[in-house]
Amino acid sequence: MMNRVLLAGIMLCCCLASAAQTSVSPYSMFGIGVIDDGDHGANSGMAGLGIGVREENVLNTANPASLTSLQPKTFVMDIAAAGSISGFHGHGGSAWRGSGNIDRAAFGFRIGSFVSAAMGLAPFSMVEYKIGKETFIEGRDGTYSSWFTGSGGLHKIHMSLGFDVFRDLSVGLSGSIIMGQITSVEESDYWTSTVKSVSGITPYLDFGIQYHRNLGRYSSITAGVTGSYRKDFSMHNTYSLTDSNDSTTVAETVKPTARQSIPAYIGGGISFSARKFTVGVDYMFRKWSAIDSGSDFLRYKDMNRLTVGLRYTPDRYDVRRYWKHISFLFGVSADDSYLTVSGVSGTDWTVTAGMILPIRNSTSFYWSLKYERNSFPLYNRNTITENSIRLTVGLSFGETWFERKRYN
């Protein structure tokens, strides 16, 4: 057991060292970047549906209370990678960018009759942008070009616990450490300005509840609630100015510590499962309006998100035909965006599809494809419409512990 846990811990450390952006957005230049929507693992094919979803031996990061679905003597490990292509359209023209890397890594197991645990690594926010600007030279007939680029983001390492309170009721707690670095660079023909913002180790807690009830031999219903509080933390900044002609550092100082915030949220979900399918809906509210964006023309507003997902399996109990064990996933989500640009807000919506292909026992390979559109009205010169396609592939590995083989 300890060898497997140690191996999983080493895997998480390696993933942390290689973690990078899997999203590109010019709006990530504000605050701590674009908050990750949490649609990791097998539920990515259902647009991140998971607050009220419960699947046996599946690591569902949307609700820590779902960990009690892990069966005794079972070790589950999940690792996924993602890549995306994003297109941007505005009054300044169009552009396309691509990115990708490790998306998440997690493992979980039962540690008692009523308690399950999981550890994992996942992105928390992502920063990746490159924006050009032409500036008029005062007193002269001409302009000079400058580029604003950003990279990095925050990641979270979490330890989650799920507890069986009663036969049908479970609660969960997820404690995370959030940390990372964001680098912002302004480059022109004459100088390069670089700001590196490093977060301290920030503790953060999420809470979850799930109620699961069997309605028949093959049918059940699950309802869940998740939430967390607003969290303020500090980013320690260093500033350097470099001469572009000879690459010499003109100035290097420590800037005042910047205060950043993570919004409070609450969400609820419900799903119904039968022999061949699971269908569910999630609702999420994030209190962004209580946070200052630090920008004059971009503001934060409260966000509401609705997600609907479906999982269809032809016949998981058919022992003769493999294709009937394959699960087909579909999902749709929409939200009213947490951004207003010059007083105008847009609508974000997502469509996903995917498959889960069982390999043996509790081990399976999964993939999902997501199309996402962030739409702002283009009559405003500051707004940009984003379209992205994201591919996620992953492996969920399950193994039985402490079971002695018997021979007749």
Q: What is the mean pLDDT of the chain?
A: 82
Choice among 143-152, 167-176, 245-254 with the minimum mean pLDDT:
245-254
Going by pLDDT thresholds of 50, 70 and 90, the confidence category of residue 32 is confident
> Is the Cβ–Cβ distance between 273 and 243 less than 8 Å?
no
DSSP code per residue over 45-96? GGTT--TT---TT---TT-GGGGGGSPTTEEEEEEEEEEEEEEEEETTEEEE
**Rounded CA separation 234/198 (Å):** 9
Lowest mean pLDDT among 43-57, 190-204, 346-360: 190-204
Cα gap 299→288, rounded to integer Å = 9
For residue 379, pLDDT beyond 70: no
Quote the pTM value: 0.83
**264 CB contacts (<8 Å, ≥6 apart)?**
227, 228, 229, 230, 286, 287, 290
pLDDT of residue 308: 97
The pLDDT of 87-111, averaged and rounded, is 77
The residue length of the chain stands at 408
pLDDT digits 0-9 by tens, 116-126:
999 998 888 88
- Read off the pLDDT of each residue in 332-340 and give the average, rounded to a whole number: 88
| pLDDT tens digits along 48-73 | 899 999 988 888 888 999 999 988 88
For residue 226, the cross-strand partners are: 208, 267
* pLDDT at 90 (0 to 100): 65
**Highest mean pLDDT out of 102-106, 109-113, 348-352:** 348-352
Looking at mean pLDDT, say which of 2-6, 155-159, 256-260 comes out highest: 155-159
Contact between 124 and 154 (Cβ < 8 Å)? yes
Q: Which among 59, 72, 55 has a CA at the least distance from the CA of 394?
A: 59
Q: Residue 8: pLDDT above 50? A: no
Which tokens belong to 305? 């998100």
Question: What is the per-residue pLDDT across 213-239, written as a single tens digit (0 to 9) for each?
Answer: 999 888 999 999 999 999 888 888 888
